[in-house]
Amino acid sequence: MSTTDLRARVASFFEAREWVVEAAEDPSLMLLHTTDDEAQPWPVLVHVNDEPAGVRIFSVLPDDVPAEHRADVVELLARINYGLLSGAVEIDLEDGEVRARTGIEIGEAELDGPAFDALLEAALVTNLALMDTCWDALHDVAAGRLDAASAADQIDF
């Protein structure tokens, strides 16, 4: 499947679920917004990958982690990621951006519409749930209000 075809399938998937899909500067990225009354409190990005063919979904913490709290957030992320079945929460140590990442790798598989949609739906639900579950802990550790171990103890997976 070409990147253009994959990108169109991804955009159609989100539009069918009433998400607004915006193009980003990078043509491989899409910025998503919900259209319901409760706006998503964080940006959601979708990256359509060429090789191997796949889709990654990122929920991005709106505020970067200050340099003085990044080591604590790294510890929290290690505690969060240990044992996750799918997805991860990651940090860019250069700028402090934190994001939850999930995705599907398609490779050479020829997926029909329902199979593709089911995989993408699972990746989306997992992504949003992961960020939602970790939201308070990430904010508390990033702001220096809690240590990583205490914040991780408050997360209920």
- Please write the tens of the pLDDT for every residue from 69-86: 999 999 999 999 998 999
- Please write the tens of the pLDDT for every residue from 95-133: 999 999 999 999 888 888 899 999 999 999 999 999 999
Query: pTM score, two decimals?
Result: 0.91
For residue 68, how many other CB atoms are within 10 A of its CB?
8
Share of the chain above pLDDT 70, in %: 95
Sorting pLDDT into bands at 50, 70 and 90, what band is 34?
low
Instruction: Tell me the C-alpha distance between 50 and 154, whole Å.
Output: 38
Does residue 38 carry a pLDDT above 70? no
- pLDDT, residue 123, reads 97
Cβ neighbourhood burial of 50 (10 Å; 0-12, 13-18, 19+): exposed
- pLDDT, residue 93, reads 97
Cβ neighbourhood burial of 29 (10 Å; 0-12, 13-18, 19+): middle
